[in-house]
Amino acid sequence: MRVRLIASDMDGSLLNDKKEFPPRFWEDLQALDQKGIPFVAASGRSYPKQRRDFQQAPDSAWFICDNGALVMHQDAVCFSDCLDAEGVHQIIDEMAKIPDILPVLCGVQGAWHTPCPEAFRPHLTSYYINDHIVEDLHTVTDRILKIAICDLRGSANNSYPTLCPSFDARYNLVLSGPLWMDIMNRSVNKGRALRFIQEKLGVSREETMAFGDFYNDVELLQQASMSYVMENANDDMKQYGKFVAPSNNEFGVMQVIHREVLDRF
């Protein structure tokens, strides 16, 4: 089956541990574009950060942002799934009881958080460029796509088990990195967002290639017949891919794309 669409997670998959793109990545995106194969950047990052990182990308590129709560194409909102305001306020109240975390309200107009210690700043700048500082998160009136939590104690051991009993039945709580977790509507995931793009483009699951490394990529991988889990992923993630790609530090995503798509024809 011919590849007609390629989607990749960013951190831990497309990017190496230094947050660097693969060599000649922009030339490769142009080559995919010339073959009529759109590239989808699928991330927990906000759209402004993704768009700045992909300034050199062709117009055919799509963006799955905020772990699937927002889909963008050519600077237009194609799909969004926002949290209800009452639920956001309830989550804010519970998060206030958890030590060593920084909640970020990821909205349509920007990212919102309270003043934070310097220890959080490097983690914020990896994902957000238009963050707004407020004294009280309850005052934010933006429509919220997801709540991201930066957890210096480790999300799997601190914020995730604390919030799950109260909110897991109502929302999608997902570990998105060693220090990050996200809270979204239960309908939100990268796989649903990819399915939206597939339907827009008339591309089937069998014609789709996808790459991921962490638990927030499971649905993305399941939505592609040609699914690759990165070698650097946790061992229990390997079950969700049909294949294993070389590690992100070996730029395994582009190794596979060259082998299976660009250099094959």
DSSP run (H or E) holding 167? helix 159-167
SS3 of 209-243: the string is: EEEECCHHHHHHHHCCCEEEEECCCCHHHHHHCCE
Query: Residue 216: its pLDDT value, please?
Result: 92
pLDDT at 227 over 60: yes
Residue type, 132: H
Residues of the chain with CATH 3.40.50.1000: 5-80+188-262
Sign of the alpha-carbon dihedral angle for 14, 54, 189, 105: positive
Which stretches within 25-83 are classed as H helix?
25-34, 47-53
Neighbours of 152 (CB within 10 A): 15
CA distances to 22, 84, 165, 261 from 93, rounded to whole Å, are 41, 15, 15, 49
Give the residue from 20, 29, 13, 24 showing the smallest Cα distance to 246.
13
Average pLDDT over residues 214-238: 96
Q: In this structure, what are the phi and psi dihedrals at residue 205, rounded to the nearest 5 degrees?
A: -60, -35
CATH number attached to the domain at 85-185: 3.30.1240.10
Greatest alpha-carbon span in the chain: 57
Confidence class for position 126, pLDDT limits 50, 70, 90: confident
Using one digit for the tens of pLDDT, what is the confidence trace for 156-196?
A: 999 999 999 999 999 999 998 899 999 999 999 999 999 99
Lowest mean pLDDT among 92-96, 130-134, 143-147, 222-226: 130-134
Task: Confirm whether pTM is higher than 0.85.
Answer: yes
The class that CATH gives domain 5-80+188-262 is: alpha beta
pLDDT value of position 128 = 86
Average pLDDT on 13-26 reads 97
User: Which residue type does 201 have?
Assistant: L
Contact by Cβ (8 Å): 107, 145:
yes
| pLDDT reading at 265 higher than 70 | no
DSSP states along 80-107: E-PPPHHHHHHHHHHHTTSTTEEEEEEE
The chain-wide mean pLDDT, for the chain, equals 95
Strand order across the 180-185 sheet: 131-133, 111-113, 101-107, 144-151, 180-185, 171-177
Tens-place pLDDT, residues 80-100: 999 999 999 999 999 999 999
Closest CA to 247 of 231, 234, 263: 231
What stretch(es) of the chain map to CATH 3.30.1240.10?
85-185
8 Å CB contact between 28 and 262: yes
Distance CA 113, CA 120 (A): 11
